[in-house]
Amino acid sequence: MKPQSMTHKILARATGKKSVSPGEIVTAKVDMCFAHDPVVKYLRQYFYEEFGKDARVWDASRIALFQDHLVPAKDSASRSLAIAMGNFAEEQKIPHYYPYGKDYGICHIMMCEKGHVLPGEVVLGTDSHSVTYGAFNAFGTGVGFEDMLNVFKTGELWFRVPEIIEVRIEGELRPGVVAKDIILKVIGELGMGGASYKTLEFTGSTIEAMSAEERMTMCNMSVEAGAKNGIMAMSDAAEKYLADATDKPHPYDPVTTDSNFEYIRSLLLRAENIEPMVAYPHTPDNVHSISKAKSESIRINQVYIGSCTGAKMNDIVMVHDIIKGKKLADGLQLIVVPATSSIYRQMISDGISSDLLDAGAVIESPGCKACYGAHGGVLGDGENCLSTTNRNFRGRMGNPKSFVYLSSPFIAAQSALSGYITD
């Protein structure tokens, strides 16, 4: 048998085949999936319209529902999305339903925190950043509305088997350089379409030594290079995270890439050579080194710490370490939006919240918020934001006449103190 990559092994397993080849179309069984508030109202409507008023989902225990994009409701239409989701959860007896309230947050971080992502499995979401789950050795990918409608009914979906690009990172990162810098650098090298329809498989000693949350940051942004999925072999840190995420995970079976597997391309980066990176407006592949950004004295009006990329506990700790006991630059606003309620709680119990508030930050309730520009941090015309999010397309944060720069939490925090992009 031809050597297989870990992605191919997962797809083969889910298809009931011994092996699969790039380019082939397969129908894979889905282990876990989710949908979020922008789509569930319509999924519910079409589900009953298309499959009958008594239709049942294929397996309620393999579906999760999240309210993250439009909570708290900004208007009555947003509220109607949440209400419809509640109804669907009730009608279909969906146990993993996470409404705005005691225990909720951004879908991707919730999926990992709650142990819904397990190695070797196929995990889908109605959101492009479902590629995050490769951090736990799953085949995670984003799908559209119609796909999920059919997955809800049949539990399977067609896929084109991807070619695999290896991104190998070796060595030790310099102080102040983190996963976000590596992935920005990779996106800069590959370009936004550089991995289109393909897999980014991250390998090398830097990845092996990385924390679970930093692994999530890497995989999360692989879609910014167009990738179908990002994936990594399991590591001790990832195992530990999974063990904490759920007290009784069902047994799982991680996959590895065969040693003689042939990647269609390999990109090798030395960790020591990577500088902090900044993506300039209006594309995430428009990346420049911090030295260049510093030399241009780019003034910023807002720093945004949020999203499924940059508001995990470790991201907020990074910000806290820098901001603690200091004051923000005059006139600058710092908005911190923890990804989930459990992170929010930990910020309070660890005293992080009060330190951030003392420095002048505003802490908002968990959710997607300004990351995609619906609400909670929209900029004025001509204003600049430095953000720990993943996309800076024109208008992404709500105003097409504003400018969004992307960086690590570390650079974002330093810049919040100086008022200019700096390290």
Interface residues toward another protein, by CB under 8 A: 24-25, 38-39, 46, 50-51, 69-70, 75, 77-78, 80-81, 126-128, 142-147, 149-150, 153-154, 158, 192-193, 196-197, 226, 228, 283, 372-374, 378, 391, 393-396, 398-400
Of 81, 70, 79, nearest to 104 by C-alpha is 70
Residues 61-80 touching ligand SF4, rule: CB under 6 A, are 68
Query: CA-CA distance, 268 to 377, in Å (whole number)?
Result: 37
Residues 386 and 421: beta-carbon distance below 8 Å: yes
| Binding range to ligand SF4, per CB under 6 A, among 41-49, 100-108, 116-124, 149-157 | 100-108
Q: Least distance to ligand SF4 from the beta carbon of 379, Å?
A: 16
CA distances (Å), origin 347, targets 155, 339, 355, 363: 38, 11, 10, 10
Task: List helix spans (H) across 18-105.
Answer: 37-51, 76-92
Query: CA-CA distance, 190 to 264, in Å (whole number)?
Result: 13
Selected binder of ligand SF4 within 15, 126, 286, 307 (CB under 6 A): 307
Cross-strand bridge partners of residue 125: 34, 142
Find which of another protein, ligand SF4, none residue 163 binds, CB within 5 to 8 Å per kind: none
Q: Which is nearer to ligand SF4, 127 or 315 (CB)?
A: 127
Q: Which is nearer to ligand SF4, 173 or 225 (CB)?
A: 225
Q: Least distance to another protein from the beta carbon of 1, Å?
A: 22
Q: Which is nearer to ligand SF4, 115 or 310 (CB)?
A: 310
- Residues 6+ positions from 407 with CB-CB distance below 8 Å: 180, 184, 276, 277, 278, 279, 290, 386, 387, 388, 415, 421
Torsion, CA 224, CA 128, CA 30, CA 10, rounded to 10:
10
Q: Which two tokens stand for residue 76?
A: 């009555």
364 touches ligand SF4 by CB under 6 A? no
| Binding range to ligand SF4, per CB under 6 A, among 9-17, 106-114, 145-153, 253-261 | 106-114
Torsion, CA 184, CA 185, CA 188, CA 189, rounded to 10:
-140
Backbone angles phi, psi at 45, to 5 degrees: -60, -50
Q: Least distance to ligand SF4 from the beta carbon of 307, Å?
A: 4
- Residues 6+ positions from 315 with CB-CB distance below 8 Å: 213, 217, 305, 388, 409
Cross-strand bridge partners of residue 299: 420
333 touches ligand SF4 by CB under 6 A? no
Residues 365-384 touching ligand SF4, rule: CB under 6 A, are 368, 371-372
| Binding range to ligand SF4, per CB under 6 A, among 58-66, 138-146, 169-177, 364-372 | 364-372
Find which of ligand SF4, another protein, none residue 78 binds, CB within 5 to 8 Å per kind: another protein
Alpha-carbon radius of gyration of the chain: 21
Selected binder of ligand SF4 within 127, 181, 214, 423 (CB under 6 A): 127
Task: By CB under 6 A, name the binding residues for ligand SF4.
Answer: 68, 106-108, 127, 129, 307-308, 368, 371-372, 389-390
